[in-house]
Amino acid sequence: MGFYTGVKDMEGCPLNLLLSREQIASIVKDLADQISKDYREKELVLVCILKGAFMFLSDLIRHLRLPVQIDFVRLASYGAGTKTSGRIEITKDIEISIKGKDVLIIEDIIDSGRTLQFLKDRLSLSNPRSVKICALLDKKARREVEIEADYLGKEIDNVFVVGYGIDFNETYRHLPEIYYITPGNQRKK
């Protein structure tokens, strides 16, 4: 069930549980174990995409068994609605040097793939040793460009999700579970 199941917001959107706290914790632990194994003896820098991935990052790093540096980027995409448009800009860049280091991008959800393609290309310009991607969720059916996560938590259907850092119009980020909003039910009271 999940604490917020059936809870409706001001717009009347019902929330349906997709991943419980326990399921998320197990996914995150598995990812951290793989990363800890693969990056042993490497100079790892995690680049977290704000804001959506902040909770994922904070849980993930607590399970890593290696020294790691962290930094953040904030990206803005321009276009209408929930769909990412072609134009993406960095509104907050990384501050530590990634030259010669192994970079792992930490993202909440891959949708069209455009955000990650942009960021991966952009970070590669600074000559890191490697740039890979770790994403919690992936809506593979929505992909518009060829990009895949090197570390993936879970593939999901084409539903709009919220919670665990992920928002709908800046709300729901605080929820400890991940919910999906029932399509078509928005605004029904």
Q: Is the dihedral of CA 129, 43, 145, 77 positive or negative?
A: negative
Window contacting Mg ion (CB under 5 A); options: 50-58, 63-71, 128-136, 174-182? 50-58
Q: Kindly tell me which residue out of 13, 31, 32, 52 binds Mg ion, with binding defined by CB under 5 A.
A: 52
CB-wise, 127 or 171, nearer to Mg ion? Answer: 171
Q: Quick check: 52 binds ligand IMP (CB under 6 A)? A: yes
Q: Kindly tell me which residue out of 13, 68, 84, 178 binds ligand IMP, with binding defined by CB under 6 A.
A: 84
The residues near 166 (Cβ < 8 Å, ≥ 6 apart) are 52, 108, 109, 172, 173, 178
Q: Quick check: 128 binds ligand IMP (CB under 6 A)? A: no
CB-wise, 57 or 68, nearer to Mg ion? Answer: 57
CA 133/CA 120 separation, integer angstroms: 8
Residue 58 CA: distances (Å) to CA of 9, 79, 157: 27, 30, 25
Q: Quick check: 114 binds ligand IMP (CB under 6 A)? A: yes
Strands annotated E in the chain: 15-19, 44-50, 68-78, 87-92, 102-110, 130-138, 151-155, 160-162, 178-181
Peptide bond before residue 154 is cis, with ω within 30 degrees of 0: no
Q: Quick check: 115 binds ligand IMP (CB under 6 A)? A: yes
Q: Quick check: 161 binds ligand IMP (CB under 6 A)? A: yes
Give the phi and the psi of residue 171 in degrees, each rounded to 5: -105, 165
Helix 54-63 vs helix 21-38: crossing angle, to nearest 10? 60
Is 111 catalytic? The answer is: yes
Q: Kindly tell me which residue out of 104, 112, 138, 178 binds ligand IMP, with binding defined by CB under 6 A.
A: 112
CB of 84 to Mg ion, least distance (A): 9
Q: Quick check: 160 binds ligand IMP (CB under 6 A)? A: yes
Window contacting Mg ion (CB under 5 A); options: 51-59, 155-163, 167-175, 178-186? 51-59
Q: Which residues bind ligand IMP (CB under 6 A)?
A: 52, 84, 107-115, 160-161, 166
Catalytic positions: 111
Q: Which residues bind Mg ion (CB under 5 A)?
A: 52
